[in-house]
């Protein structure tokens, strides 16, 4: 859990320093006051990037050269400090307990996060890349051997594709073998996590809305499942050479969300799709929790603006009082109503200043 957060020069948050407690914390205030920027700052520290933009410059306060986020974190019996600086020249420096990190993945391992924001609806309705990230991001926390395997596959893919583009791979059986070996193993891990996600989603989704009772998940590996990956790569070898890239494999994998055998995006309303997205993120959190490496921090951005009071209350009920949750909304009353009778620590945000409320 997060015990303390210090934020400097992130958007309109010039200098913010607050203590956080277990359970639920709510930030309320007018649009543009800095509520979402607070969540964004935590996300930058935990993931290495914003959830609102892929660029560093918009995150850094206007007129400043860098921004900084530092947190004190407790995971199980260990307490430590972690921090990140992002600069306008795109350079990044991150540390855990004063030691430089070799990879930003070390931040994610130290402080798991689950972001609930309905702006990410493309995870359900958009291209497969986001759904692969959902699977792989969950596996990162659940199976520690997954990241080295994913990197090995990605490196082989880059090297093979580079050779294909330059037309220098007359015979690439060795590359195909490496892709097949790592790709099959990677896909087996994805199948395991997709099955776990599907099983938990079947129980979670109806708790948010009865209209999601028949949602199911179909995993697609990225090649003809009647074939092994070696054979699929061999069959596509000439076409790959002509196109200049590898056309089959886990990098083309996907999840499909179905309702009674029909694509969910074709039959669910926008509001129902938002609830399906939230259910997916809640299930992701459950799977990370079950991985045994500590509970994630849940960042929940402005649910009352997207969902009615009853559905907000359903989501909050699933978050529960035994998780650390940071919520935002324009109106204090909507947050208190959604959270119910559980303890809720309130902060008012105005013009980049955050003040504890009684």
pLDDT, tens digit, for every residue of 62-80? 999 999 999 999 987 889 9
Q: What is the CA radius of gyration of the chain?
A: 22
pLDDT above 90 (res 342): no
Q: What is the 3-state secondary structure of 27-81?
A: EECCCCCCHHHHHHHHHHHHHCCCCCCCCCHHHECCCCCEEEEEEEEEECCEEEE
Mean pLDDT of the chain: 94
Return the pLDDT at 208. 96
pLDDT above 90 (res 112): yes
Distance from C-alpha of 94 to C-alpha of 70, rounded to nearest angstrom: 10
CA atoms within 13 A on the CB side of 229: 25
| Token output for 16 | 């913010």
Q: What angle in degrees, to the nearest 10, is found between the helix axes of 128-142 and 146-166?
A: 140
Q: Where do the domains of the chain lie, and which CATH numbers do they carry?
A: 1-112+294-358 (3.40.50.300), 122-292 (1.20.1050.90)
Distance from C-alpha of 326 to C-alpha of 345, rounded to nearest angstrom: 9
Return the pLDDT at 322. 87
Q: Which positions ≥6 away from 155 have C-beta within 8 Å?
A: none
pLDDT tens readout for residues 270-321: 999 999 999 999 999 999 999 877 789 999 999 999 899 999 999 999 998 7
Return the pLDDT at 149. 97
Return the pLDDT at 293. 72
Query: 305-338: string of b/e by CB count within 10 Å (b at 16+)?
Result: ebbeeebbbbbbebbebebbbbbbbeebebbeeb
pLDDT tens readout for residues 180-227: 999 999 999 999 999 999 999 999 999 999 999 999 999 999 999 999
What is the side-by-side order of every strand in the sheet holding 99-100? 13-19, 2-10, 66-75, 78-87, 92-96, 99-100
| Token output for 17 | 């320093």
Per-residue pLDDT, averaged over 9-18, amounts to 97
Return the pLDDT at 68. 98
Return the pLDDT at 169. 67
pLDDT bucket at 41, cuts 50 / 70 / 90: very high
Output phi, psi for 152, to 5 deg: -65, -45
Output phi, psi for 304, to 5 deg: -60, -20
Record the pTM: 0.95
Return the pLDDT at 168. 74
From residue 126, alpha-carbon distances to 43, 50, 96, 264 in Å are: 22, 19, 35, 12
Return the pLDDT at 294. 78
pLDDT above 70 (res 170): no
Contact 95, 101 (CB under 8 A): yes
pLDDT tens readout for residues 114-164: 999 878 889 999 999 999 999 999 999 999 999 999 999 999 999 999 989
Which pairs count as long-range contacts for 232-238, CB under 8 Å and 24+ apart, including other chains?
233/176, 233/179, 233/180, 234/176, 237/172, 237/176
Place of tokens 């070696």: 230
Return the pLDDT at 120. 86
pLDDT above 80 (res 37): yes
pLDDT above 90 (res 3): yes
pLDDT bucket at 327, cuts 50 / 70 / 90: very high
């Amino acid at each position: 859990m997060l015990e303390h957060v210090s934020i400097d020069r992130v958007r309109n948050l010039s200098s913010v320093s607050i203590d956080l407690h277990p359970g639920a914390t709510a930030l309320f205030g007018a649009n543009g006051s800095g509520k979402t920027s607070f969540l964004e700052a935590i996300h930058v520290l935990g993931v290495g990037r914003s959830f609102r933009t892929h660029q560093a410059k918009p995150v850094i306060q206007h007129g400043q050269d860098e921004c900084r986020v530092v947190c004190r974190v407790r995971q199980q019996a260990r307490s430590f400090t972690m921090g990140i600086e992002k600069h306008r020249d795109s350079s990044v420096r991150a540390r855990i307990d004063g030691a430089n990190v070799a990879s930003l993945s070390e931040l994610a391992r130290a402080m798991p996060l689950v972001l609930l924001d309905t702006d990410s609806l493309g995870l359900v309705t958009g291209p497969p890349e986001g759904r692969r990230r959902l699977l792989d991001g969950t596996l990162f926390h659940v199976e520690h051997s997954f990241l080295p395997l994913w990197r090995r596959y990605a490196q082989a893919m880059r090297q093979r594709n580079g050779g294909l583009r330059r037309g220098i791979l007359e015979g690439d059986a060795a590359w195909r073998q490496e892709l097949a070996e790592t790709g099959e193993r990677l896909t087996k891990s994805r199948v395991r996590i997709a099955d776990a996600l599907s099983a938990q989603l079947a129980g979670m989704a109806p708790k948010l809305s009865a209209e999601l009772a028949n949602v199911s998940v179909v995993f697609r590996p990225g090649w003809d499942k009647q074939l092994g990956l070696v054979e699929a790569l061999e069959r596509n070898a000439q076409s790959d050479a002509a196109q200049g890239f590898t056309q089959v494999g886990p990098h083309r994998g996907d999840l499909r969300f179905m309702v009674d055998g029909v694509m969910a995006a074709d039959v669910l309303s926008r509001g129902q799709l938002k609830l399906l997205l939230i259910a997916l993120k809640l299930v992701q959190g459950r799977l990370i929790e079950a991985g045994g490496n500590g509970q994630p921090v849940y960042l929940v951005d402005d649910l009352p603006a997207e969902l009615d009071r009853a559905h907000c209350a359903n989501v909050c009920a699933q978050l529960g009082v035994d998780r650390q949750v940071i919520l935002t909304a324009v109106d204090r009353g909507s947050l208190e109503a959604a959270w119910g009778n559980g303890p809720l620590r309130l902060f008012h945000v105005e013009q980049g200043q955050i003040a504890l409320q009684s």
